[in-house]
Amino acid sequence: MFQFQHIEYLTGLAAVPLMVLLYFFVIRWKKSTLKKIGDAALVNQLISDYSPAKFSLKFVLFIAAFTVGVLALANPRMPLGTATVHRSGIDVMIALDVSKSMLAQDIKPDRLERAKQLLAKLIDKLSEDRIGIVVFAGRAYLQMPLTTDHAAAKMYLSSATPGVVPTQGTVIGDALKMCNAAFNVKEKKYKSIILISDGEDHDDNAVKLAKALASEGVMINTIGIGSPEGAMIVDAETNEVKRDATGAPVVTKLNEIGLKDIAVNGNGIYQLFTNTDEVVSRIETQLKSLGQKPITENSLINFQYFFPWLLALVLIVLLAEFLVSEIKSVKKNLPSINKKKVNPVTVLLIFFIAPSISFAQNDNKLVKKGNEAYKKKQYEVAREDYKKAAEKNPANQKAQYNLGNALYKTAKPEEAVAAYDAAIQNSRLAIEKSGAFYNKGVVLQNEKKLPECIDAYKNSLRLNPADEDARLNLQKALQQQQKQQQQQKEKDNKEQKKPKDEPQKKDQPKQQEDNNKNDLPQPQPSKMTKKEAEEKLKALLQQEKKLQDKLRRVNAASPEKPEKDW
């Protein structure tokens, strides 16, 4: 059955009647203008070369091109056929740990890569089951809902890295909740969660939650990957060993006890990763013990799309409209003269657009060149490339944003802030502007410019409320500001208590000492009444209470983040 993929674009056809009305208005205006000239013979002589029929033809061609273009945007298509797929299987949610501890290389090449290889083989074995994927670290995210499209599952699985989850840590409880939310709550069986992790859990709710899910018919099987002896974490970007707050190298160890407890309370089994085929075989056997349910899906085999043909038709009609001249054909007995006039608007468009395209290509090449240098940590080289690109095209948001990063890396914070401001000004997307505000806030926070830093983080969160890093940095900046204000207040109190004069020498005569005392400036009585002082103190206490309430609201709005970030 013929259909449109983007039917909302068909609203553009509402402009056709308006164009027709505009056409008749222009025709009426032309006739009225000709009548105002007065002399019909003179008018006919002046417009003898003009062809009203060709003018109308050009309008019809333009309307036709516009209409076909709108239809092309709506993407007309026709299904080549449908197939009803009957399966017998279960629903399986895979919870994959992508925290930085999974980068440990006690299992080669590293824990995460080996886990993805294992899951890819397991997906091949679960050909009749619906599969979904949740990735987690400090928070859990639904990477793919339940589907029978196993090719898509492998694609999502291959892209899973620590970078897809901004908050680091290992919160297994959140992952189990997210997996359970993807299931059909009405069913009490045929549901299983496969959790693969090193078990270094930073929350205490996982075991309790596993027991609760088991009561709802969910089987939880766990796979431990890593070694009890542990290994250090090497950051892939910096190639340096991960260290804790004290500066000691972080050693991440496999926590088999925690994973076993989850499996036991989840009516499943625990498997220590030793051999991929062996683990896959045992998990497959365990899942078969759940039985199978019938799964029926109507799957569209393929579509035939018509928009390429429609776009080609639009180009042909526009070309025809361009070639049709409003001038009448030249008579044969006249010399061969090309009466066709080139549309001046077209000439101007070509004149202005062609250089701009070349211009954009040049500055984008410089940005790309700078990116290559930046990846190699050649920050000064990258900075010069970005600067040249920004000078060529100040409106290039990527050039300004990357220039700010390079300037920050080369210890030029003030120039970096200016570059981020330029990137903000030229950002079209809210996510781009939010990122520039965030980086600006980081630079200002390192420079101890807390008020400006707080404003930048707030602007970033207004544009992207889901940015947890910006939220946490804002909280830290507010705490730093409060501490700074408190220190300044204590400093001011100490200066007020400090004596203004040196103590008198013991060997001076008593009379001289008395005279000196009389010469000393006497303390002035306070001009503030006791009532005014009490009111001022009350106002200060109220202001401090508001600040504490604000910080508590920020903490309540932010999700709990584990102290560990691996």
3-state secondary structure 508-548: CCHHHHHHHHHHCCCCCCCCCCHHHHHHHHHHHHHHHHHHH
Cα separation, 170 vs 138, in Å, equals 5
Strands 251-252 and 231-232 come out as: antiparallel
And the tokens for 521?
Answer: 């400036």
Are 276 and 176 within 8 A, CB to CB? no
Cα separation, 117 vs 120, in Å, equals 5
146 phi, psi to nearest 5 deg: -60, 130
Residue bearing tokens 């890569």? 113
Cα separation, 39 vs 36, in Å, equals 9
Burial of 351 (0-12, 13-18, 19+ CB in 10 A): exposed
Q: Hey, which CATH number is domain 343-407, 1.25.40, 2.60.40, 1.10.3470, 2.40.160? A: 1.25.40
Distances (CA, A) of 113 to 109, 126, 428: 7, 20, 37
Query: Tell me: the pLDDT tens digits for 451-463?
Result: 999 999 899 888 8
Q: Determine the pLDDT at residue 237.
A: 67
Domain with CATH 3.40.50.410 in the chain: 91-291
Q: Determine the pLDDT at residue 87.
A: 60
- Which residues, listed in sequence order, are joined to residue 197 by a DSSP beta bridge? 224
Cα separation, 147 vs 283, in Å, equals 20
**What does the DSSP assignment read for 82-146?**
EEEEEEEE-EEEEEEE-SGGGG--SSSS-HHHHHHHHHHHHHHH-TTSEEEEEEESSSEEEEEEE
Cβ neighbours of residue 536 closer than 8 Å, sequence gap 6 or more: 528
How many CB atoms neighbour CB 391 within 10 A? Answer: 13
- Which residues, listed in sequence order, are joined to residue 147 by a DSSP beta bridge? 131
And the tokens for 370?
Answer: 């700078």
427-486+540-559 CATH fold: 1.25.40
Q: Please choose, from the candidates 234, 231, 276, 226, the residue with its C-alpha nearest in 3D space to the C-alpha of residue 251.
A: 231
Residue bearing tokens 């273009």? 69
91-291 CATH fold: Rossmann fold (3.40.50)
Residues of the chain predicted below pLDDT 50: 298-301, 330-360, 501-526, 551, 554-563
Query: Tell me: the pLDDT tens digits for 464-504?
Result: 888 888 888 888 888 888 888 888 888 877 776 655 544 44
SS3 label, residue 256:
helix
Q: Please choose, from the candidates 247, 188, 253, the residue with its C-alpha nearest in 3D space to the C-alpha of residue 227.
A: 253
Q: Determine the pLDDT at residue 193.
A: 95
Cα separation, 346 vs 234, in Å, equals 58
Per-residue b or e along 74-89, where b marks 16 or more CB atoms closer than 10 Å to that residue's CB: bbbbeeeeeeeeeeeb
Are 310 and 72 within 8 A, CB to CB? yes
Cα separation, 79 vs 98, in Å, equals 39
Q: Determine the pLDDT at residue 155.
A: 85
Q: Determine the pLDDT at residue 532.
A: 64
Cα separation, 412 vs 455, in Å, equals 21
**What does the DSSP assignment read for 322-357?**
HH--SBPPPPTTS-----PPPPHHHHHHHHHHHHHH
Q: Determine the pLDDT at residue 465.
A: 81
Residue bearing tokens 């501890």? 101
Cα separation, 493 vs 489, in Å, equals 6
